[in-house]
């Protein structure tokens, strides 16, 4: 997939536990973190052996809280600083102390001095440790003749195209040699991309392709359903009408996740957006597809981070799973919710996510060092942020810039 995404992922999975307010210098004592976590690994066997614990020092709740903290950051280096401060310390044992510090220390230096991140140094560290991130890349070409379920007019989802579009439109990356990758990466980590903007941009590109394929599926719904009906009629044990039920129930979930009442209304929107008869001007059709993609990605994000929508959707997903499987009931689903989130129900998990993403910033706490609290409208949600006086940075203006 996208090489810059590989490098960015190295940063995003690269952080302590709960996401506290950023105050004071960005700094982590990597030696101390190593000593602390290596002792905890003596009693560690596998993820979720203890409810909610991914590995020592990092729980699912910690990860959600950290992402929620980055949700209101306004530039990429602040996002990366939060991840390096709050997630990276728990990775020094499984990933390696030297590798983590070579990535995070340039980010800390940049934030503490209010200068550019040395993206080239980070890129070199990744290449030196992991080798060429593109060397193992195997492109899976989607040929024009490759069809979905044997229905020639319905093509497979083109992940190759989506990957190239993400590279080109988000990272400004057009070739995959080391110099091009590191240049694009340096520009990205010093950009004004935020978590919200990155999710929107990536989601729009993904959905532009998904809308085109979804429109084809909608137009040939009966033919696809007939293929699944014949599959269900094959002899053998299993849930009666499994594939037909799967198609109907999952399409309803997709419609709900996308902000539509049912599959029919979603299909109407997909077909209308991609219909070449609506206009002979391709750019207008692209505009309709883009507009629909924006609406859908907003509905998807709100479904995940707003308590009521999240709970309703989560319960609907649980109902579909129970309906399709003779081996899973609601007690089993509750068990896995407890195991993953260390919470008692889907509703509690959604409430936790809502709280993590509803960070109000300086609306709850004053700005330090003479900073002013101002309203901030993000792409998906709003908050209040500190505008810092000269010489200070950080979400609460608590970080003094070292000249």
- Tens of pLDDT, residue by residue over 177-218, are 999 999 999 999 999 898 999 999 999 999 999 999 999 999
- Whether 54 maps to a domain, the answer reads yes
- Whether 225 maps to a domain, the answer reads no
98, 130, 162: which is the final residue of a domain?
130
99, 130, 161: which is the final residue of a domain?
130
Domain extent for 83? 3-130
On whether the CB atoms of residues 144 and 214 are closer than 8 A, the answer is: no
- Tens of pLDDT, residue by residue over 11-20, are 444 433 333 4
Is 0.95 topped by the overall pTM?
no
- Whether 100 maps to a domain, the answer reads yes
Instruction: Identify the CATH number of the domain in which residue 384 sits.
Output: 2.10.25.10
- Whether 30 maps to a domain, the answer reads yes
pLDDT for 128 equals 83
For residues 240 and 258, give the distance between their C-alpha atoms in angstroms, rounded to a whole number: 28
Q: Kindly state the helix (H) or strand (E) to which residue 148 belongs, with its residue range.
A: strand 147-148
Between vectors from CA 358 to CA 355 and to CA 363, what angle results, nearest 5°? 120
- Whether 14 maps to a domain, the answer reads yes
Question: 355 pLDDT exceeds 50?
Answer: yes
Question: 301 pLDDT exceeds 70?
Answer: yes
- Whether 217 maps to a domain, the answer reads no
- Tens of pLDDT, residue by residue over 217-257, are 999 999 888 888 887 777 655 556 788 888 999 999 999 99
Backbone angles phi, psi at 29, to 5 degrees: -85, 95
130, 156, 185: which is the final residue of a domain?
130
Count the domains in the chain.
2
- Whether 235 maps to a domain, the answer reads no
Residue 55 tokens read as: 């590995």
- Whether 86 maps to a domain, the answer reads yes
pLDDT for 402 equals 73
């Amino acid at each position: 997939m996208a090489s810059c995404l590989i490098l960015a992922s190295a940063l995003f999975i690269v952080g302590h536990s709960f996401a506290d307010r950023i105050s004071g210098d960005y700094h982590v004592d990597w030696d101390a973190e190593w000593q602390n976590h290596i002792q905890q690994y003596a009693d560690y066997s596998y993820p979720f052996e203890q409810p909610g614990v991914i590995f020592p020092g990092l729980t699912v709740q910690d990860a959600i809280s950290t992402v929620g903290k980055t949700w209101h950051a306004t530039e990429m280096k602040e996002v990366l600083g939060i991840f390096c401060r709050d997630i990276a310390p728990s990775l020094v044992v499984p990933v390696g102390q030297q590798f983590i510090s070579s990535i995070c220390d340039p980010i800390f230096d940049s934030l503490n001095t209010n200068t550019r991140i040395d993206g080239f140094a980070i890129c070199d560290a990744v290449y030196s440790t992991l080798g060429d991130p593109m060397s193992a890349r195997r492109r899976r070409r989607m040929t024009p003749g490759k069809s979905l379920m044997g229905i020639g007019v319905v093509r497979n989802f083109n992940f190759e195209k989506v990957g190239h579009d993400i590279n080109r439109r988000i990272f400004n990356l057009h070739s995959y040699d080391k110099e091009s990758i590191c240049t694009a990466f340096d520009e990205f980590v010093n950009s004004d991309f935020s978590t919200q903007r990155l999710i929107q941009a990536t989601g729009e590109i993904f959905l532009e392709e998904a809308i085109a394929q979804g429109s084809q599926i909608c137009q040939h719904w009966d033919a696809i359903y007939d293929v699944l009906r014949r599959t269900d009629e094959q002899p053998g044990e299993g849930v009666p009408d499994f594939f037909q039920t799967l198609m109907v129930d999952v399409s309803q979930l997709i419609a709900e996740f996308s902000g539509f009442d049912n599959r029919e209304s979603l299909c109407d929107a997909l077909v209308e957006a991609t219909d070449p008869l609506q206009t002979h001007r391709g750019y207008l059709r692209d505009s309709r597809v883009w507009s629909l993609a924006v609406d859908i990605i907003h509905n998807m994000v709100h479904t995940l981070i707003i308590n009521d929508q999240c709970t309703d959707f989560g319960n609907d997903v649980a109902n579909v799973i129970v309906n399709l499987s003779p081996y899973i009931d609601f007690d089993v689903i509750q068990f896995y919710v407890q195991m993953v989130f260390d919470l008692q129900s889907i509703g509690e998990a959604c409430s936790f996510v809502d709280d993590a993403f509803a960070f109000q910033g300086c609306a709850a706490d004053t700005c330090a060092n003479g900073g002013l609290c101002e309203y901030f409208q993000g792409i998906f949600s709003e908050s209040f942020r500190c505008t810092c006086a000269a010489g200070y940075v950080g979400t609460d203006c608590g970080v003094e810039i070292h000249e």
